[in-house]
Chains A and B, each alone.
Chain A
Amino acid sequence: MSHSSVEKKDDVSVVLCGEAGQGIQTVEQILTKVLKFSGYNIFGTKEYMSRVRGGSNSTQIRVSSRRVSSPVDRIDILIPFDRKALEHVGRRIHEDTVIIGEMKELFPDGDDKAFNCIDIHYSDIASDVGGAIYINTVATGVIAGLFSVDRRQFDDMIETFFTGSSQSIIDKNKEAGGRGYDAARTLVDAGRIGVDVTAHPDVAGEILMNGADAVGIGAIAGGCNFVASYPMSPSTAVLVFLAAHADEFGIVVEQAEDEIAAMNMTLGAWYAGARAMVTTSGGGFALMEEAVGLAGMLESPVVIHLAQRPGPATGLPTRTEQGDLQLALYSGHGEFPRIIMAPGSLEDAVHLSHRAFNAADKFQVPVFILTDQYLMDSYYNIPSVGISDTGAIHCFIETDESYKRYVLSENGVSPRGIPGFGTGLVSVDSDEHDEEGHITEDLDLRVAMADKRLAKMTEMEKDALPPELIGKDDYSVLIVGWGSTYHVIKEALTMMNRDDVSFLHFKQVYPLHPLTADYLKKARSVVVIEGNATGQFANLIKLRTGYDVHHRILKYNGLQYTVEEVTDRLSEVIE
């Protein structure tokens, strides 16, 4: 059995692993909230299979004295719900990993010598309380007890979480949680296990949310009042978020018959004065592409939240990847401008989703918010969302009788009227059209209209968000990343502790900020880190700046990078 207690750590990586249907999500949701509310910095992320029951899924919760926002390979405490879990995360179990499990389930042959184990009879406790379904709540209690969460707060959290269930179920869950809690306290008191994470009173009052919440909040801040989509992992969580707040904020939330309808509805909605978005993933977005071109031709604003998962086709439906940058960049036939943003943090996700609506309205172009399963499903605490006012900027005008939708203009933007506001008529056409928006085959006018649409790129480039430089200005090695790898690369850099290595993070990947090339040229060596197989962003940099990066670190197994992985792989390419 246990031959050593866990050393006193101030940054503890807890991993829970079991089958789909064993309630790991319940554990995650209760624990992240109650640990944050106890003043601990927390980070939670999960990886799961595309199934409702069975398989092996895992959730990592980092509980730390300092702010943490990225996954680590390391497991300090493992709670396996079944024997399969040991194989599933086996690669990550090290000599200091403490396994708090049910030994007779995990090691029926007693072959636990290689592990550092603490035996807790989850199933016996659960069946005492009322059945195997309470095993997850017992485990929740064990973690809560280990971190000395206030007992009353823990009970309240269970009560809140199970609101809507019968009193008997609430009571049994409280009992199950309490039994787990007591078991952990006994172990702590006996010196079998202990942690040394400092709670900060300020953290208790911080915001806890995941990427899906952040995109939803940013969208509402940007004035979103219409969303049409077709459910698809991992983008659905944003649709669910907006549906949950539709009554409060007056949002039309429509689950369309398919993604084609969803995107065309969204364009119809903008035309008639709504601020509309779609939320989708690779295959669903592929169906929307024709209408992305329609937005290009109509010069319609539209916001597209594209939560990436590995493709092609169905790929790995519940996993993460940064594989759809090219898809977004080249979606829709014909030539027209667009903006692609890629949030790196929860604050970015709020800020950029907000900004996406204003940019779409200002330039009358499609604006993408490119996230991924990892960002959607990761939780951590932040002091504020970083927006001080909601500031939805509305750019449409009241028309008069002389109104023409596509008046040729120097910067390419023609004032956007909407039907029913003013005395003018608003005509938009997917055919090439004249200034009034009526179908034309005047080929000189065609050239003028194409030039007008593309002329917007000049202003859009000036308006591009600059990349964020982390580290010193006089770097010799520059690491380049985009989107959801922000925190993991940042933490890896802190661990590496090299003052000649800096990190340039792009929150807007198209159009690129005009200073991009200058940043790259200053470095002796540039390393791009991204989550795909071909280096799509490195290719885009080459295409737009002519700059060849020296190294590409790529990952495309469906999982996000971990801090250790980034440091290891960086050490292979930088001296």
Chain B
Amino acid sequence: MKKGPFDMGQIDIAWCPGCGNFGILTALKGALTELGVRPEKLVIASGIGQAAKTPHYVRTNVFNGLHGRAVPAATAIKAANPGLTVIAEGGDGDMYGEGGNHFIHAIRRNPDITVIVHNNMVYALTKGQASPTSSIGFKTPVQVRGVTEEPFNAIAVSVALNASFVARAFAGDHDQTKDIIKKAVSHRGFALVEILQPCVSFNKVNTYQWFKENTAYHEASYDPSDRFAAFKRATEAEKMLLGIFYVNPDKPCFEDTLPPYYKETTPLFKRRIDGEKLFGLIDSRRRV
């Protein structure tokens, strides 16, 4: 196979054979290639977990930070240099558990970043505990009598917070997932792509087969600009729906609201202090 711009060559990948992450990695690299994104102008930020290792397997700039903290880092990277394409990537525990507060506030802030959440409904790297998205009744060595908490519905939360782009994909569907990622990366503003994926080692309930039986795409006529319809579909549908739930293109992006970019788009690293202004400020303290 021809080596793509984002392919790393021979590397040791830490995922289990058959892991849903492989499909996501392929779709992600395909989407970026088709969009014509240049590896040196892209940053993928991630946290900790098996999903959060993804950027190490993509030939690009990587900020692999702390568990749950990819989104604040990604937000700041975009704010420091709006010319970069910025993706934050991680699993359901990383983004919705440890990083839940950042997830909520990033939606409010609306930076122009894409947040890709690998949702396998289980904690895999720590060997099989419940995640915020595990189903009620899901048994683990910690949740020995089964999960009792309501699963975190990121799609509904995002729509409720009027996120600017909300989508769900399934790792088993390469073409659709690639297409959704392309639309999310192209979208200006906070874009959530939650990607359902099986965990072949620790989730024996939500398997490839289970996802095939329990998911369905929005019909072609569905209008993603209708927030109430999106919320209804996120909360009431019999199956977990796939595709773009909601798009609100009218929200101002975080970067556009920041003082350094009122008049110019130069990234911060190219800026230098205006010494005269600074001494003017100091001298202002001499006056009444």
Contact = CB atoms under 8 A, between A and B. Distances in A.
B84 A419 contact: yes
Interface string A409-441: 000000000111111111111110000011100
Contact of B76 (A217, A268, A439): A268
B43 A272 contact: yes
A404 interface: no
A40 to B, nearest CB: 14
Contacts, number: 204
Given A250-B259, A294-B65, A264 B72 contact: yes
Contacts of B285: 207-209, 213
Contact of A223 (B101, B272, B282): B272
A431 B64 contact: yes
Nearest to A260: B69
B66 A421 contact: no
Given A33-B288, A220-B273, A223-B272, A429 B41 contact: no
B59 interface: yes
B145 interface: no
Interface string B170-194: 0000000000000000000000000
A274 B262 CA distance: 17
Nearest to A291: B66
Given A213-B285, A247-B262, A290-B66, A269 B273 contact: no
Contact of A273 (B66, B69, B80, B283): B80
A34 to B, nearest CB: 7
Give the bracket for the number of chain B residues in contact with chain A.
Answer: 35 or more
Give the bracket for the number of chain A residues in contact with chain B.
Answer: 35 or more
B58 to A, nearest CB: 10
Q: Which 10 A-B pairs have the closest CB atoms?
A: A273-B269, A268-B76, A268-B73, A272-B80, A419-B61, A257-B105, A265-B76, A250-B260, A427-B62, A274-B80
Given A220-B278, A264-B73, A439-B64, 16 more contacts: A225-B268, A228-B76, A248-B281, A249-B278, A264-B72, A272-B77, A272-B84, A272-B267, A392-B273, A419-B41, A421-B269, A427-B56, A427-B61, A430-B48, A430-B64, A431-B64
Interface of A: 33-34, 37, 153, 156-157, 160, 205-209, 213, 217, 220-221, 223, 225-226, 228, 245-254, 256-258, 260-262, 264-269, 271-276, 290-291, 294, 298, 385, 389-390, 392, 394, 396, 418-431, 437-439
30 contacts: A33-B288, A205-B286, A220-B273, A221-B273, A221-B278, A225-B260, A248-B281, A249-B278, A250-B259, A251-B259, A257-B101, A257-B104, A257-B105, A261-B72, A264-B65, A268-B63, A269-B80, A291-B66, A291-B69, A294-B69, A419-B81, A420-B83, A420-B267, A425-B59, A426-B61, A427-B55, A427-B56, A428-B63, A428-B64, A430-B66
